[in-house]
Structure 1
Amino acid sequence: MGVSIDDVAARAGVSTATVSRALRGLPRVSPATRERVLAVAQDLGYVPSPSATRLATGRTKTVGVLVPFIDRWYFAHALEGIDQELREHGYNLMLFSLGGYQHGQRRRFSEPMVRKHVDALVVLCLGLSGVELEELKHAHIPLIAVGGPVVGCHGVHIDDTAAATEATQHLIDLGHRAIGQLRGGSKDEKNFIVPVLRSRAFEATMHRAGLQVRPEWNVAGNFTVLEGVAAAGRLFDQPGERPTAVFCGSDEMALGLMFEARRRGIRIPADLSVVGIDDYDFSGPAGLSTIAQKPIDHGRVAAQMLLAELNGNTGASQERIMPINLVQRETTAPPR
């Protein structure tokens, strides 16, 4: 059986809290006591455990991340950024997954789920209910959102309205007037604000340009490649003329549309221009024009804010709008 903090405290004749403070170099420990504790710890071969640290300091050295999906591109990359930053500072990551849409209306996240388990919490682009947000605030831990605005807490995210506006304006500037949209589906829009913001920005940009938003060219794709394929099929099956360009609310939907267009012999960009948002991993190799963002950086910045707040910098967690840029590749060109 290994040596515990209690063994060190008993041999040194001090409390476990004093042992913890002495080993971590914290104040309110006399030089003589610190030297005695260090000598005893070295003699016994004691290695501090996370549980001992928690008992002495009330800290778990763990940050929780609440995520609606594990397999979505943005969430996976943001998680990687959070984890990188936490590891560099000796913190662990605890994942709380809501299992996507599997649980429907039974989804519930509450304060007891995080009580005494984490020191801070990151909410990944999820619309929390008022009840859920109030319960989390009762945990009295730093809280920050990543990936999209969440009512009631500061966040790290891009300006989704600006991103969709720039993508749509890019098509208009190329000379397109007949423009369709692949947007988030009803489930996405119910749980996240991002798909709604992007869709509204597309429509507003079209209206400002005096262009019609045709309902039959406004198709739900649920922000995945496979749903993008299905949505593109419904768009292409519409009778009458076809749009000369399509704005996609995510690169994954745009890639799905490109697959379906190729299957039907629709040439991109000769017959149809396509633009997305995100700069997904395969967007570059596919030649997809997009509004690029870097979710790994979003995760890192959010983790930095939380760690600063945990280290006593009250108010370190602030709203941070992250950079975006238009990357024009081979999928957008002037209409024929």
Structure 2
Amino acid sequence: MTDERAGLREVSRRAGVRRVAELAGVSPATVSRALREGTPVSADTRERVRRAAVSVGYPLPARTLTVAVLARLPTRWFFAEAVAGVEAVLSAGGHLTQLHNVGDPASRRHFFDTLPVRGRVDGLILVASALDDAERSALDELDLPVTVVGGDMPGRPRVGVDDRAGARAAVRHLAGLGHREIALVSFDPYEACGRTTARDRRAGWADALAESGAAPGPVVEVGADVTAGDTAAGRLLSLPRLPTAVFAMSDEAAIGVARTLRRAGVEVPGRVSVVGFDDHEMAAVADLTTVAQPVRRQGELAARALLATVAGDTPADVELPTRLVVRGTTAPPR
């Protein structure tokens, strides 16, 4: 009985190949070649055969995709977490991840000038990097599916968090403790990676200040790493009067702020309270109050959205929740 069923399946398969060949106007052998990756068949013929196969319900072989991931700082925590999420989903489906570092200006310019992914990848995932008009046009010309993590590219599916709401929750926490002057350590608003995020988190800071009646403290525009936090704290220490609280747009910067203040003899949280954003893997070690966001999950969902787009679907934008994690760097002011 088993041999009989196997024989029937083989007869059915051959009939299906002949029907696909008739519809596509090619030979059965060409159908077999066209439905296998890496075989010498023109793109037009391959597409015609695939459409014919779909129209009669002939099963298509699993297709291995190559997805390019553009990350500005791939070794930094946020980017590494997002890329890990992307790669986990793609590898589970038998697909390939191609990582491109577009961090320094020269490498970024080279990528968008030469577009080395042209004809070599099936889609792109952009991680936390705003694009200028020329860069956006370059990606549009590739005519590839694009999904965005933690940024914004109009017309493309986006996975991220509500940065404004997260920042608002952080500053509400400080205002609720009784802090009346709350400083902001900001990303560089003119830097491509953080432009949208900096705008939204600054708006959340301003929202909470307006709600509570607290005064806006000094705004220090530096960057996102620990060294930037050190620099920001140095600038705050040079002021005639220290604010009693600081909201930093990243945990790395918040850790740098707290470290430098403590080295200068300023108690954290006794004299100054500090809140970060991300829930970086070192946030718990530093006992840092922060706003947690699910970074790896964003990468996973972005990969799923890209695969859905390649399959012909139109995935909706996804906005994941943030949550306030209260630890030991915040307390009521003295």
TM-score range, shorter chain: 0.7 to 0.9
Deviation of 1:97 (Å) = 2.0
1:120-139 counterparts in 2 under 5 A?
120-139=123-142
Deviation of 1:268 (Å) = 1.4
Change (3 A) 1:243 1:80: same
1:189-208 counterparts in 2 under 5 A?
192-208=195-211
Deviation of 1:123 (Å) = 0.9
Relative to the length of structure 1, the TM-score reads 0.79
Deviation of 1:101 (Å) = 4.1
- What corresponds to 1:173 in structure 2? 176
Deviation of 1:200 (Å) = 2.5
- What corresponds to 1:19 in structure 2? none
- What corresponds to 1:118 in structure 2? 121
Deviation of 1:96 (Å) = 2.1
Change (3 A) 1:89 1:324: same
- What corresponds to 1:213 in structure 2? 216
- What corresponds to 2:250 in structure 1? 250
CA deviations 1:69-113 (Å, max 9, x no partner) are: 223221111000000100000110112222334568x46626843
Distance 1:260 1:107 in 2: 37
CA deviations 1:104-141 (Å, max 9, x no partner) are: 8x466268433211111111121112333233223222
> Any stretches of 5+ residues in structure 1 without a counterpart?
1-21, 38-47
> Any stretches of 5+ residues in structure 2 without a counterpart?
1-9, 22-27, 30-34, 48-62
Distance 2:110 2:261 in 1: 37
Deviation of 1:30 (Å) = 5.6
Query: Do 1:188 and 1:195's aligned partners in 2 also have CA atoms closer than 8 Å?
Result: no
Deviation of 1:154 (Å) = 2.1
Deviation of 1:258 (Å) = 1.2
Distance 2:222 2:289 in 1: 18
The residue type paired with residue 261 of structure 2 is A
Query: Do 2:189 and 2:198's aligned partners in 1 also have CA atoms closer than 8 Å?
Result: no
- What corresponds to 2:311 in structure 1? 311
Deviation of 1:310 (Å) = 2.1
Aligned-residue CA RMSD (Å): 3.1
Distance 2:150 2:14 in 1: 36
Deviation of 1:49 (Å) = 9.3
Deviates more, 1:67-76 or 1:183-192: 183-192
- What corresponds to 1:271 in structure 2? 271
Please give the secondary structure, in 2, of the residue aligned with 1:188: coil
Query: Do 1:63 and 1:122's aligned partners in 2 also have CA atoms closer than 8 Å?
Result: yes
The residue type paired with residue 261 of structure 1 is L
Distance 1:96 1:324 in 2: 28
Change (3 A) 1:198 1:189: farther
Please give the secondary structure, in 1, of the residue aligned with 2:191: helix
Deviates more, 1:191-200 or 1:222-231: 191-200
Deviates more, 1:144-153 or 1:70-79: 144-153
The residue type paired with residue 290 of structure 1 is T
1:122-161 counterparts in 2 under 5 A?
122-161=125-164
Deviation of 1:153 (Å) = 2.0
Relative to the length of structure 2, the TM-score reads 0.79
Answering whether residue 75 of structure 2 is matched by residue 71 of structure 1, we say yes
